[in-house]
Structure 1
Amino acid sequence: VSGTGRKPWRQKGTGRARAGSRRSPQFAGGGVVFGPQPRSHAQRLPRQMKRLALRGALTGKFGDGAVKVVEDLAMDEIKTKVLIEHLGALGVAGGHVLVVAPSRDESLELSARNVPGVDVILADSLNVVDVLRADTLLFTRAAVEAMRALPAATEAEEVPA
């Protein structure tokens, strides 16, 4: 906003509209009437829609053959090398692998932390973005059962195994 605070012309007798300041919004260089208000325009996605999206993403990965289910991924010791060998034996080495665990397993998380392209996520934290980003999904049997225990999008639906 630029300009002086002086009244540009007298109130009456000029034939022009009354004006109090050159800074008012109708003048060039004047103020903005209703300027931008900082606010979040984010919208929440309905819970059922999130569940259906996750179900669709898992179904798509399952159809592509990118889902593997193993009995257990328990690590005896915290060793990255052991995890890499284990993943290689399962045929999922290379690409982005998402390991879905039923509960927190510190040895698995610490072993996978330094392996590029391997992420560990809990079954109840599984989301569409992580599923779609991964080339291969590696579930444990317990993780599949934990996901089945989660509420489905509708009563009749279940998580594909």
Structure 2
Amino acid sequence: MIELNVKDKEGNLSEEIEVSDDLLGLEFHNDLVYRAVKAYRANGRAGTASTKDRTEVKSSNRKPWRQKGTGRARHGSRASPLWNGGGVIFGPKPKDHGMDLPKKMRHKAIRSALSTRYSEGNLVVIEELKFEEPKTKKALSLLEALDLPKDTLIILPQEEESWKVQKSFSNIPAAKCISTSQINAYEILNHEGILLAKKSVEELTELLLDRKLETQGV
């Protein structure tokens, strides 16, 4: 088990909680994380790129000029790819780029990425993530008190009203807020710091390990 420090908004130690080694104590699995990131980015592609071939171009079927006697190259249609405005040869068509990854592999990749940020000392847990009103100044002060960079991923509990927190961090370009249900290895590794509410850790323990979290007061 790992004893994880929980801090208050001033950066002071509030309590300690025990989390499983399987959540924050894994080695970095390069191949697994690569596959998870590749699948995540592929599933984000729209796949709507499309061109018209010569049968789809709106054009007359009339031959531009007679076959012989003009001295010019022979042509049969203005829809030919040789003409400006003609069809495209082997151009892109709408395509589904989606990739499937088994849930156990996806979850292990997330745990591996979280473990990496924890081992670097860039993962911080706070009692609760709530603001009375949306203020960017409060968000910056919180990051400074917790010794976190502006490039931080804030992982919020699912059920709590979090729009004030999201709006507070929205003016910090490098910061991003997601819920525990949206967590993925790509976003974790794409940010230098990770900030979680204590409830977020509980939800991730249940989501990724199907276990309850044990709390120990300090």
Whether TM-score is above 0.5 comes out as yes
Tell me how far apart the structure 1 counterparts of residues 212 and 113 of structure 2 sit (CA, whole Å).
Answer: 14
Q: Does the residue aligned with 2:201 lie in a helix, a strand or coil?
A: helix
1:101 counterpart (148, 156, 159): 156
Judging changes above 3 Å, is the alpha-carbon distance between structure 1 residues 61 and 93 closer, same or farther for their aligned structure 2 residues? Answer: closer
Q: Name the amino acid aligned to 2:116.
A: G
Q: Show structure 2 runs of 5+ residues with no match.
A: 1-53, 55-89, 214-218
Distance 1:143 1:130, change over 3 A: same
Structure 2 match to 1:63: 119
In the aligned structure 1, how far is the partner of 2:92 from the partner of 2:148?
50
Matched residue, 1:73: 129
What is the aligned residue count?
Answer: 125
- Distance (whole Å) between structure 1 residues aligned to residue 149 and residue 114 of structure 2: 20
SS at match of 2:129: coil
- C-alpha displacement of 1:43: 2.9
Match of 1:91 in 2: 147
Letter in 1 for 2:194: L
Q: Which has the greater radius of gyration?
A: 1
Q: Which residue of structure 2 lines up, in the alignment, with residue 14 of structure 1?
A: none
Of 38-47 and 125-134, more deviation after overlay is shown by 38-47
- Matches of 2:92 and 2:212 in 1, distance apart? 44
Inter-CA distance 89–36: structure 2 relative to 1 (3 Å threshold): closer
SS of alignment partner, residue 140 of structure 2: helix
Q: CA deviation at 1:79?
A: 0.8
2:206 matches 1:149: yes
Q: Work out whether residues 84 and 93 of structure 1, in 8 Å CA contact, stay in contact via their aligned partners in 2.
A: no
133, 136, 159: which one pairs with 2:193? Answer: 136
RMSD (CA atoms): 2.8
Q: CA deviation at 1:42?
A: 4.0
> Does residue 1:114 correspond to 2:171, yes or no?
yes
- Structure 1 CA distance for aligned equivalents of residues 97 and 162 of structure 2: 37
Measure the CA separation in 2 of the matches of 1:139 and 1:123. Answer: 9
* Matching residue of 2:104: 48
Q: Which residue of 2 aligns with 1:125?
A: 182
Code of the aligned partner of 2:102: P
What SS does the corresponding residue of 2:177 show, helix, strand or coil? strand
For residue 133 of structure 2, give the secondary structure of its aligned residue in structure 1: coil
Aligned to 2:138: 82
TM-score, length basis structure 2: 0.50
Q: TM-score, normalised by structure 1?
A: 0.67
Q: Aligned residues: percent identity?
A: 25
Residues 149 and 193 of structure 2 are in contact (CA less than 8 Å); yes or no, is this contact kept in structure 1?
no
